[in-house]
Amino acid sequence: MKFLLAAFAVFSVAAQPPRIFNTVKTKLAQGKQVVGGTVSSSDPDVYCAMANSGFDFTWIEMQHSPLSYSEVARMVYACRGASAMPFIRVPDATEGDVQKATDLGAVGIILPMVESIEKVRNAIKFANYPPRGKRSQGGGNYGALWGSDYRGIANHNMMIVAMIESPAGVDIAEDLAKEPGVDVIFVASTDLGSFTGLRQGDPKYEAFVTRVHDAVLKHGKILAGPLAWRERHGYKFFQGPGEGSLIRTAAKTVLSGGVEEGAKKGVAVIEGTEKK
């Protein structure tokens, strides 16, 4: 009897579903839209302001910024417990880039300029532990951020976002959408315009977008794009504005007489009670 009870206890533990702490993943599974605020500054206070401002995730920009992995590690750790999940747009799908990003605590790898299946397979391989991938064990923030059980649940929480920015990327949209391990496919609107010489609204431009749209939804993956496309059919994952744009927008609101949410017009905010 004791043996049976012990075996049942082991089975019950093994049968428990993995803990999902990546709220972006759970929201998307519920059919909700998610929006990320873009971060290019290395200032931890700026990062925390973005991570706690209501965005679902932070789009940490390491492709088009001078941010280093040590800076990003400090930023993410300084704001552990923030509501926004840390996603990193890595410079490339190299083993070093992807593993440094995951070790510092990123739960989403955003991969730019995907024009081959091999590139996205590299990202999948190095973002996931065996047996799914070849991510090696090392140090980092991940345990302090996500718990001592991280090693056993990391693969269930990691997300791969493949960006289509050129006609070559459009040509492999169907293959990307069928690839196990790809969670989100992002239509990079301005880059697609840059590489095609076409503007949004042009029938030829929209034909490229439609090809990606149809392939992604056909295979049940998440379709992504710029926040301006929030009303387009089928899109669920969006890149929002960066810190500079948000500061300008907020400044215009304040200077035109607007007040912060929860504040009263004509009443000065008491020092120390400001929202963080």
Under 8 Å between Cβ of 202 and 214: no
262 sits in the region (left: phi over 0; alpha: psi -120 to 50; else beta) called left
The model's pLDDT over 160-199, given as tens digits with 9 standing for 90+, comes to 999 999 999 999 999 999 999 999 999 999 999 999 999 9
Question: What is the per-residue pLDDT for 272?
Answer: 66
The candidate with the shortest Cα–Cα distance to 154, out of 176, 125, 129, 134, is 129
What was the pLDDT predicted at 4?
Answer: 53
pLDDT, residue 12, reads 47
Domain parsing of the chain, residue ranges: 20-255
Taking residues 258-268, report their average pLDDT: 71
Of 3-12, 90-99, 102-111, 220-229, the poorest mean pLDDT is in: 3-12
- Average pLDDT score over the chain: 92
Q: What is the mean pLDDT of residues 10-15?
A: 52
| Span 60-88, pLDDT tens digits | 999 999 999 999 999 999 999 999 999 99
Return d(Cα 270, Cα 276) in angstroms, integer. 14
Nearest partner of 34 among 208, 161, 181, judged by Cα: 161
Yes or no: say if 111 and 93 are a contact pair by the CB < 8 Å rule: yes
Q: In degrees rounded to 5, what are phi and psi of residue 7?
A: -65, -40
Q: pLDDT tens across 190-246, in order?
A: 999 999 999 999 999 999 999 999 999 999 999 999 999 999 999 999 999 999 999
CATH class of 20-255: alpha beta
Tell me which residue of 92, 151, 98 sits closest to 124, measured CA to CA.
98
Flag whether pLDDT at 47 surpasses 70: yes
- Confidence at 264, pLDDT banded by 50, 70, 90: confident
Per-residue pLDDT for 151 more than 90?
yes
Q: Are 27 and 34 in contact (CB under 8 A)?
A: yes
